[in-house]
Amino acid sequence: MTDTPRILLIGSDGQVGWELRRTLAPVGQVIAASLSGQDGPSVDLTEPASVRRLFHETAPDAVVNAAAYTAVDKAESQPELAQAINGDALALIAELCTAPRIPVIHYSTDFVFSGITDHPYREDDPAEPRSVYGRTKLAGEQALLESGAPALVFRTAWVYGVRGSNFLLTMLNLFRERAELRIVDDQIGTPTWSRMLAEVTAQIAYRVFHGGLDIEGVKGLYHLTGAGATSWFGFAEAIREAAGSQCRLLPIPTSEYPAPAQRPAYSVLDTGHFRRTFGLALPDWRQSLALCLADLREQRPLMTSAAIAPK
């Protein structure tokens, strides 16, 4: 392995990609690619020629794909666009990485499951997505895994962080605007901090390039989330308590919050395979939330209202 690998990070401007730009820096030279091309080369995942040009011009030693079409409800009316980004682009990335044996790390989702279960999903449980988003993400991970490329696919869930559009930031904003909120209480999953995902990814990448980890021996599918589980209502309560907000929260069933895309009712992922393979502990989601909120207070000092002020 080269001493300074060239790591092509696709989707560098997303909430996970933004964190990866920092955590991957000690591993090698990070080439930050995004649709905007603001901090590096631009790439349009809906255009195969754009993806091929990116690989040709950057000549990466590794690829980390943090890009995805994540507008879950819009995907129901834009299935072709979701498939192009979440499915077809992954098939092309797999093609470009298979023969030269370029390591790939990619993120998938709990939406590949139906949610009709009462136990945490394992990697070998049947994937039965109920939404366009879930079906296109499943198509992408299957294309990558079936290609034989040296790939790690990390299924994750309920991702939040200090940037982008996510449940945490939405709640903090609404706490300042509303006296009462109705939150779904019958969907169960695991909140997962984008920083944790990025740090774990960087540790594994470091082992591949500098620690003697043979990616050919560990390639495959893994579940990667925080530890524990809660409902969206429970997540909102934890955010409210940590933020010191007085907003009243009311639990409601999914039936009272209709949306175009069907969500899994239960999508807790069993992370045992990941933990046994890589020997990494995954923090409880409450611990990660506390660290994320502390980080948010430092990064956004002007937001000193009750929304993020400590109790």
DSSP string, 196-244: HHHHHHHHHHHHHHHS---HHHH-EEEE---BS-EEHHHHHHHHHHHHT
The residues of the chain scoring below 70 in pLDDT are: 1-2, 300-311
Q: pTM of the full predicted structure?
A: 0.94
Distance CA 286, CA 229 (A): 10
Sign of the Cα pseudo-torsion (297, 301, 302, 305, in order): positive
Distance CA 10, CA 27 (A): 16
Both tokens of 58, joined, read 């950057």
pLDDT at 298: 82
Residue extents of the structural domains in the chain: 6-165+191-227+266-283
Q: Are 122 and 273 in contact (CB under 8 A)?
A: yes
> Which residues belong to the active site?
133
pLDDT at 299: 73
Core vs surface per residue 277-310: b (16+ CB within 10 A) or e: ebeeebeebbebbeebbeebbeeeeeeeeebbee
Per CATH, the homologous superfamily of domain 6-165+191-227+266-283 is NAD(P)-binding Rossmann-like Domain (3.40.50.720)
Specify the DSSP class assigned to residue 18: H
